[in-house]
Amino acid sequence: MLSRKIIDELTAVLGKENVLTEKEELACYSFDATADMPQSMPDVFVTPTCTEEVQKVVEIASKNKVPVYTRGSGTNLSGGTIPLKNGIVMGMVKMNKILEIDAENLNAVVQPGVIIQDLNDAVAKHGLIYPPDPGTVKTATMGGSVAECSGGLRGLKYGVTKDYVMGLEVVLANGKVMRCGGKTVKNVTAYDMVKLFVGSEGTLGIITEIIVKLIPAPETRKSFLASFKSLDDAANSITGIIASKVIPATLEIMDNATIKTVENYAHVGLPTDAEAILLIEVDGLPEVVAKEAQAVEKVCKENNGQLKVAETDEERDNLWTARRAALPALAQVSPTTVLEDATVPRSEIPKMLKALQEIAGKYDLKIGTFGHAGDGNLHPTILTDERNKEEMERVHKAVDEIFDAALKLGGTLSGEHGIGMAKMKYLENEFKEAGVEALRSIKKALDPENILNPGKIIDLEG
Amino acid sequence: MSYYDLLQNINEEIIKCMKCGNCQAVCPIYKETKGESGVARGKIQMAKALLEGRLEYNEKLAELFSLCLTCKACADNCPCGVRPDKIILAVRAALAREKGLHPLKRRIFSVLAKPKVFRLGMNAGSVFQGLGLKRVKGKNLAHPRFPIGLDMRRVIRPLASQSLISELPRINKPQNPQFKVAFFTGCMLNYLYTDAGKAVVDVLNKNGVEVVIPEAQHCCGIPTFVHGDMSTSKKIAKYNIDVFMKEDFDAIITHCGTCIGAWVEHYPEFLADDPEYAEKANKLANKAYDFSQFLIEKVGLKRPEVSLDVKVTYHDPCHLVRGVGVATQPREILKAMPGVELAEMKKPDRCCGSAGSFSLTHYEMSSKIRDKKTEDILSVNPDAVITSCGACRMQLEDGLYQTGADIPVKHLAMLLQEAYQKEGK
């Protein structure tokens, strides 16, 4: 428990309405969107409304060595915002202004509490888009998605969050404010601190302002659904499309288990006998789209794919409804949905899918896999029930093996969800001793008292 | 046993929540408070903590659970098919059982539990309301003279001088009727918006439907249900079932989203374990229709012949659109009317913020949500706003009045009535 004195200091800075201390309210910040995580109560929940207030909160925390857990909308999938060691949870949702849209220089300046979709709506008037589009685009905050380096469906062609953050304002663990990066396309002044803070999961500093890059909205787009009787044919199509010099905006895959579940739930006419389907969209100038569409059709047909082309906007919407239904459909099968994001090089997708099938068989679990085939980022989704202790043990073993398999294939632990507390124990498998040591040095340099999101990514006490 | 009688039984619903937070995108309360306790995900986790003994029944919990409009937008948007509205109402019922109702609510609901006393009170209220309410010049709206449980800024519709049931005959029969229906008026149409009540009868008659108005009918009971008073809710449900079981009809008709929800969804779930009433509740549930639904699906609307030359926008009452899935039928009627242009506002199904007594207990919050709705209405610049719920209508009237806009809000039946009346001339 925090002393009355600390609560009073916080209240003096933020006002009563921005300091919550009753346990009913605090219980609502003891979890996030991650399945199978312990809950832990904060001692206090605060909502600063400007950078100066964030500084003062951090100063109070630093002086008293109290942990600060920064939180956006709490939609992350790594246990990243759970206040493991209690202390202060700082919600950034009230700092939600779009400060500037600079259409001429193709950028925007936003506060961390802005919802991604709200930014997209605001820049659409200028014919621009902010491409990163995680599944939580309508709920997640910009601050949260920068801190987690969110990905999404358009990663293959457009990249991920880190490719769009140009500059940041950050409150450091000592309460001081620093700025890095800016509005210029080119910037090699000193270390690339912007890239360091993007994806740092609230462990190195607190993001209070973000400058993002915008791009012109593509003029046209064309979508396809290709179904395959064998995984190899689907995989050869993925590599074939890219080998023919086409980079689709989206290139998504669903395995048979997912297809069947989605069809059962949404009745959108998916081929339930297919081993895999690919959902493909190319976008850009009309001439380019026409040419790329031809190439996609050719590759899929050469690899024995059954192709369906969305001719109208309505058909396109139907097609993407199927993709959007993947997670909800799987989630409705059982009470607990463990969603992973193991990622492999694109060419290793068939091997990874086969490994997942074997793991599911070995541990007698239901695993549906879908994901971003174009960038190798798969979402094996384990359908289980957290009340079933024996099954959860099998789930944990399966998860261990999934990460082993991904690393063996030259992949990574996390494509887009981050490490948080959910994947900490696997970190050394990928980073090895020297790598973890380097991570620890960085953490120690920027947060010597270990007050920023302690217990996440790397544990200094461990 | 129903989860409204035993909280443990809501556990299967709670466990379905994967805590994704998608409800944040659509919750009108969350949009205002930005607090996790405001949104379904937070409330579901509080309910879980309550069941696991990590939280207890207390004032704070009651206050937080009172912050829900039961607009069901979260349920509609939930990828896991969770019904947060049921979880929240189950907790409210458990809170009422464990902690008791607020004394003022208890007094009001004890009157509601007695149909005759309630009726007497409402009729007396119509005579004496001038003591507390000051009419707005040129409109059938009134401000409170004193803070009589109402915010001083608010305008409301005063009680009609005579209730609908006492004003209209029991049997309203056109020549050669094709159908016979029983009209469940609900309190708003019986005591406040009698214009809409008369329009329902008139329009149904014009469409060859005989309308019986059972005089002993009572409030639907949902106002007591949303505050967790299950014993009164059940008492009222049984009372209304008894009244309507005595009649002979093809359908029960309502023109209120909440009343239709009571008949179709809530009476059967309240009484599922009741050996005497379960079957009756289900039987009547299958016969209950919203006014527009009955005209479109059963009767086949008699298209008005004369053009009205009016631009309208339609507001979907939450309990009608998400409660019983009626959204296309009212629009079909509007589109079938000559000279009626339907200009859809942005998000016509977003809650108006009224939520019945929520607008009394949380006027500030209710007004903020309402102002978004008012803005959306004004953006399409309509001649009139059409809806299918008295509580929504009163809220929208207040909202429009506060901006100074002179746009009437009407029940759908009233617009149809105008068209038929114009024909006669």
- Claim to verify: residue A241 and residue A303 sit in the same structural domain: yes
Residue A286 lies in a domain: yes
For strands B384-387 and B310-314, give the pairing.
parallel
Task: Please determine, for residue A462, whether its predicted confidence score (pLDDT) is greater than 60.
Answer: no
Which residue among A29, A331, A332 sits closest to B36, beta carbon to beta carbon? Answer: A29
User: Where a domain ends, among B99, B119, B151?
Assistant: B99
Contact list, A327 vs chain B (CB under 8 Å): 79
Cβ distance of A327 and B60 shorter than 8 Å: no
Quick one: A191 and A111 in the same domain?
Answer: yes
Distance from CA of A25 to the nearest CA of B (A): 6
What whole-number distance in Å separates Cα of residue A426 and Cα of residue A422? 9
Coil, helix or strand at residue B353:
coil
Do the beta carbons of residue A363 and residue A387 sit within 8 Å? no
A109 and A204 together in one domain: yes
Domain's final residue, options A327, A357, A385: A327
Residues A40 and A60 occupy one common structural domain: yes
CB atoms A25 and B64 under 8 Å: yes
Distance, in Å, from the CA atom of B55 to the CA atom of A366, rounded to the nearest integer, reads 34
Q: Do A28 and B16 touch (CB under 8 A)?
A: no
CA B91/CA B88 separation, integer angstroms: 5
- Structural domain ending residue among the three candidates B66, B99, B132: B99
Q: Is residue A51 part of a domain?
A: yes
ipTM score of complex: 0.94
Residues A340, A317 within the same domain = no
Let me know if residue B258 belongs to a domain: no
B17-28: per-residue pLDDT in tens?
999 999 999 999
Q: Judged by CB atoms within 8 Å, which residues 159-188 of A form the interface with B?
A: none
Rounded to an integer, the average pLDDT of B152-168 is 91
Answer yes or no: do A402 and A308 share one domain. no
Question: Could you tell me the pLDDT band of residue B148, with boundaries at 50, 70 and 90?
Answer: low
Number of domains in chain B: 2
The residues pairing with A384 across neighbouring beta strands, listed in sequence order, are A336
Last residue of a domain, one of B99, B117, B142: B99
Which pLDDT score is estimated for B105? 85
Please tell me whether residues A249 and A355 are part of one structural domain: no
Residues A50 and A30 in one domain: yes
Residue A461 placed within a domain: yes
- Which of A97, A139, A145 would you mutate first to test chain B, the one with the most B CBs within 10 A? A139
Domain boundary among A47, A75, A91: A91
CA neighbor of B66 nearest in space, from B100, B45, B41, B37: B37
Q: Is A21 on the interface with B (CB under 8 A)?
A: no
From A18, which residue of chain B is nearest by alpha-carbon distance?
A: B35
Kindly state whether residue B18 falls inside one of the protein's structural domains. Answer: yes
Of A216, A248, A267, the last residue of a domain is A216
Is residue B362 domain-resident? Answer: yes
Identify whether B202 is part of a domain. Answer: no
Which sign does the torsion angle of CA B40, B43, B49, B54 carry? positive
Q: B231 burial class (0-12, 13-18, 19+ CB within 10 angstroms)?
A: middle
For residues B294-309, give the mean pLDDT.
96
Indicate yes or no: CB of A27 within 8 angstroms of CB of B54.
yes
Q: Hey, is the C-beta of B81 within 8 angstroms of any chain A C-beta?
A: yes
In angstroms, the CA B203 to CA B207 distance is 6
Q: Are residue A253 and residue A358 in the same domain, yes or no?
A: no
Domain that holds residue A60: 4-91
Q: Do B42 and A91 touch (CB under 8 A)?
A: no
| Mean pLDDT of all residues belonging to chain B | 95
pLDDT (tens digit per residue) in B215-242: 999 999 999 999 999 999 999 999 999 9
- Please answer yes or no on whether B21 and A24 come within 8 Å at the CB atom: no
Q: List, for residues B113-130, the tens digit of each pLDDT value.
A: 899 988 888 888 888 888
CATH of the domain at A24: 3.30.43.10
Give the residue from chain B lying closest to A76, CA to CA: B20
Question: Which structural domain range is residue B416 located in?
Answer: 304-424
Distance, CA of B43 to CA of B35 (rounded, Å): 11
State how far Cα A221 lies from the chain centre. 25
Would you say residue B231 lies in a domain?
no
A135 falls within a domain? yes
Q: Which of B15, B34, B45 sits opposite A31 (nearest CB)?
A: B45
> Would you place residue A326 in the very low, low, confident or very high pLDDT band (cuts 50, 70, 90)?
confident
B80 in contact with A, Cβ within 8 Å: yes
Whether A338 and A321 map to the same domain: the answer is no
Q: At what angle do helices B390-403 and B363-379 cross, to 10 degrees?
A: 80
Residue type, B103: P
pLDDT of residue B167: 96
Same domain flag for A161 and A255: no
Query: Which of A200, A206, A196 has its CA nearest to residue A419?
Result: A200
Helix (H) or strand (E) holding A318: helix A313-324
A440-453: buried (b, 16+ CB within 10 Å) or exposed (e) per residue? eeebeebbebbbbb
Q: How many domains does the structure of chain A reveal?
A: 5
Q: Does residue A293 share a domain with residue A201? A: no
